[in-house]
Amino acid sequence: MLASDPGVLETPAVQWSSGVLRTVREPLALEEPLALEIAYARGGTAVRRLIATTMRTPGADEDLAAGFLFAEGLIAERGDVVSFAAAERNSRGEAIATLTATLRAAPRENLERVSRSLLTSSACGLCGRPSLEGLRASAVTAGGARWQAEVLSALPERLRDAQPLFAATGGSHGAGLATAAGEIAFVREDVGRHNAVDKVVGAALAQGSPPFGGHALVLSGRASFELVQKAAAAGIPVIVAVGAPSSLALRLATEAGQTLLGFTRDGRFTLYTGAARLDGHGTA
């Protein structure tokens, strides 16, 4: 089973338990680099541009690319991408798995701000950025769906049940989009937290599911600044995390008008901001 899973690598290892050593084969979540490029026409001239190089778990690469381009403001909908093309070298001739998205029109966003051409780690979506400037998102629409505390507290467990890569390896992050009824509509996994979020947003875009105003983003780990920013950019009003938010993540969620929950497990959670979306609660 593991050998056929493109996201899993088996490796020999030694386990120690109760004073006994034994040789085992241990499943690991696969991590490999991917270069993301865009191609478009400007003034009759064909342009191909390296946007980012990131570490990710192979699989759902088109979802990853679409979610990333959407979060960065390079596309407004999935239809803005005419096609994807995979290659073994990037536009600089470097031998690295590359996915190129051909855009219907030239992007209006400042590519110098967006570009993350430095190699980033799977845990860092901001590495290589010159600054945090421009990453703050506009406010999320107020109102919308009302959320029951019991539904919110159960979402991480439901996400975990839909994470086969984590079940096999214990080495991946998960991101899900959930409805106010408690249904996990989309799930994606990756060794990188930000990659998992880009993938799940991209998957929803591919199914034509936006707007995201009636959904919660469920995170298998902590809520970092960039994950909150990606949710705000997509218009996702509720974030449910198993771990804690960072101080900057909380500041951004408050500014964006989002509802942010942390330590959501074992039938409990900590609400940091946005209580107005919970039934029976006043404004945070």
Q: 142: exposed, middle or buried (C-beta count within 10 Å: 0-12, 13-18, 19+)?
A: exposed
- Asked about 127 being catalytic, the answer comes back as no
Pick the catalytic residue from 39, 124, 244, 284: 124
| Terminal Cα-to-Cα distance of the chain (whole angstroms) | 48
Please list the helix, strand and coil fractions of the chain in percent, rounded to the nearest 5, in that order: 25, 35, 35
Q: 152 and 240 in contact (C-beta within 8 Å)?
A: yes
Q: Amino acid identity of 244?
A: A
| Whether 232 contacts 218, CB under 8 Å | no
Q: Whole-angstrom Cα distance, residue 198 to residue 63?
A: 7
The per-type count for the chain, helices as H runs and strands as E runs, is 7, 13
Contact call for residues 258 and 140 (beta carbons, < 8 A) = yes
SS3 (DSSP) at 141: coil
**Residue 74 DSSP SS3:** coil
Q: What is the DSSP letter of 260?
A: E
DSSP E strand stretches across 43-153? 45-56, 81-89, 95-103, 116-119
- The residues carrying an active-site annotation are 124
